[in-house]
């Protein structure tokens, strides 16, 4: 497959984003973030497996009255470097590096999908966990050893990436994601090629080899797990298991939403996050 590519139209999208690009080193990996500024509590947003930072701009810009959103281009995506490893430990070390490098005081971690798993590990087992990290996990993959496979196959992700590399359009994205806002379909079409094939493949392997439930009971309060009512990733059975495994956590169901909670039902998902941020302030 070709290397990661960002076209000029994709880079031009950054002109419409009300954030400043900043850079942090995590070992020899250079990480890019979008920093929305302000005096609010730092809210470090960790996107999903094929979502560069700009994909969550529509979430961040709706939270600037409650927090200082900062979205990470997770290694292997967006403007951040590739890495030698795409394990949860490596991702958590990157998150630590951003917290330290930007001197974020008592941040809240908001992660979606892969990002929710990263937030859980960061809060549970890294040095930052000793400094009152708070977390909001949105539809974390609950697959892992001895559990069912992740609902989206690696072949499906690889097919989406190959289509993007050939030059996909927002209309073609809409065939797979018809409910998404039009701008998010356009960004998906232009930015998916910024995601590395190995980053996707290694992360997908991690969904089935790294155990979410080995970490989740260790995630300290306050923490909230938000999930889509129709999600195949966090099923009703999975939500019940999560509630039993970490009784101190709050669970919030977003109606009329699948795994892509913010994209499927933006208002309800944002309302849920806003309520949690208000409670955490």
- Do the Cβ atoms of 48 and 72 come closer than 8 Å? no
Q: What is the pLDDT of residue 132?
A: 72
CA distance 64 to 112: 18
In a domain, 178, yes or no: no
In a domain, 165, yes or no: no
The enclosing domain of 276 has a CATH number of 3.40.50.1820
Question: Is beta strand 41-46 parallel, antiparallel or unpaired with respect to 108-112?
Answer: parallel
DSSP state of 5: -
Containing 134, the helix (H) or strand (E) segment is strand 134-138
In a domain, 235, yes or no: yes
Q: In this structure, is the dihedral angle defined by the CA atoms of residues 193, 195, 200 and 201, taken in order, positive or negative? A: positive
Q: What is the pLDDT of residue 152?
A: 96
In a domain, 176, yes or no: no
Q: At what angle do helices 114-125 and 88-101 cross, to 10 degrees?
A: 70
In a domain, 98, yes or no: yes
In a domain, 112, yes or no: yes
Q: What is the pLDDT of residue 149?
A: 93
CA distance 73 to 53: 5
In which residue are the tokens 């979606």 written? 112
pLDDT of the chain, 281 residues: tens digit per residue: 447 999 999 999 999 999 999 999 999 999 999 999 999 999 999 999 999 999 999 999 999 999 999 999 999 999 999 999 999 999 999 999 999 999 999 999 999 999 999 999 999 987 665 667 899 999 999 999 999 899 999 999 999 999 999 999 999 999 989 999 999 999 999 999 999 999 999 999 999 999 999 999 999 999 999 999 999 999 999 999 999 999 999 999 999 999 999 999 999 999 999 999 999 87
Overall number of domains in the chain: 1
Q: Residues in the chain, how many?
A: 281
3-state SS class at 211: coil
**Domain extent for 109:** 18-146+210-280
In a domain, 2, yes or no: no
Residues 6+ apart with CB under 8 A from 157: 49, 50, 200, 204
**Cα distances (angstroms) measured from residue 138 to each of 47, 85, 160, 203:** 10, 24, 23, 17
In a domain, 187, yes or no: no
- Do the Cβ atoms of 68 and 43 come closer than 8 Å? yes
């Amino acid at each position: 497959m070709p290397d990661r590519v960002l076209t000029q139209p994709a880079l031009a999208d950054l002109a419409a984003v009300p954030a400043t690009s900043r850079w942090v080193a995590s070992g020899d990996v250079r990480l890019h973030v979008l920093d929305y500024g302000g005096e609010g509590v730092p809210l470090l947003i960790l996107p999903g497996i094929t979502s560069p930072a700009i994909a969550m701009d529509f979430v961040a810009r709706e939270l600037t009255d409650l927090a200082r959103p900062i979205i990470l281009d997770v290694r292997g995506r967006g403007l951040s470097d590739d890495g030698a490893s795409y394990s949860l430990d490596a991702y958590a070390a990157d998150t630590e590096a951003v917290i330290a490098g930007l001197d974020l005081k008592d941040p809240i971690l908001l992660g979606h999908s892969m990002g929710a798993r990263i937030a859980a590990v960061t809060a549970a087992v890294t040095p930052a966990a000793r400094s009152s990290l708070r977390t909001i996990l949105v539809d974390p993959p609950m697959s892992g050893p001895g559990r069912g496979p992740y609902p989206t196959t690696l072949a499906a992700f690889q097919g989406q990436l190959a289509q993007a590399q050939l030059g996909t359009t927002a209309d073609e994205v809409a065939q797979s994601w018809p409910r998404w806002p039009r701008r998010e379909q356009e960004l998906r079409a232009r930015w998916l090629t910024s995601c590395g094939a190995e980053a996707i493949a290694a992360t997908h392997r991690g969904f089935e080899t790294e155990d979410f439930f080995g970490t989740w009971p260790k995630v300290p309060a306050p923490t909230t797990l938000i999930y889509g009512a129709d999600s195949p990733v966090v099923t009703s059975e999975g939500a019940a298991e999560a509630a039993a495994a970490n009784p101190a956590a709050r669970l919030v169901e977003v109606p009329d939403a699948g795994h892509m909670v913010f994209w499927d039902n933006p208002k309800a998902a944002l309302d849920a996050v806003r309520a949690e941020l208000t409670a955490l302030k």
